[in-house]
Amino acid sequence: MRLDAATFVQPGYEAAPGDWSDTDRRAIASLRGFYPEIAHWGDLAIGVAFGELSQEVLDVSWADWMLDQRDEIFLNYCCWRQTRGQWDGGLDAEALAQANEWKKMAE
């Protein structure tokens, strides 16, 4: 079992490129490099997931500072949304850390 892009986009759009600026495409490419667990997702799904993490967890429009290195909070958030549904916990990294089933999914 893998993290499912359809958690963030409609079925059929999991591999869609989306309509992103060149700057955003570079950011999404950077994220894809840091997170091989979701490298099979299209740009649309990665960008939507990262944007939702930025807004729902970090309370910013786009968490630019997270584009320079891997942070498992992103995968924990993706896993939470896939396995538990909507996130309404704000910046509660401890709660998000419990959503670590992706580690077994990636095996």
Rounded to two decimals, the pTM is 0.94
pLDDT tens figures, 47-65: 999 999 999 999 999 999 9
Q: How far apart are CA 90 and CA 96, in angstroms?
A: 10
Rg (CA), the chain: 13
Q: Which of 40, 42, 53 is nearest to 81 (CA)?
A: 53
Q: Which residue blocks in the chain are alpha helix, DSSP H?
A: 22-34, 43-56, 72-84, 93-97, 102-105
> Angle, to 10 degrees, between the axis of helix 22-34 and the axis of helix 43-56?
90
pLDDT tens figures, 55-105: 999 999 999 999 999 999 999 999 999 999 999 999 999 999 999 999 986
- Please, which pLDDT band fits residue 40 given cuts at 50, 70 and 90? very high
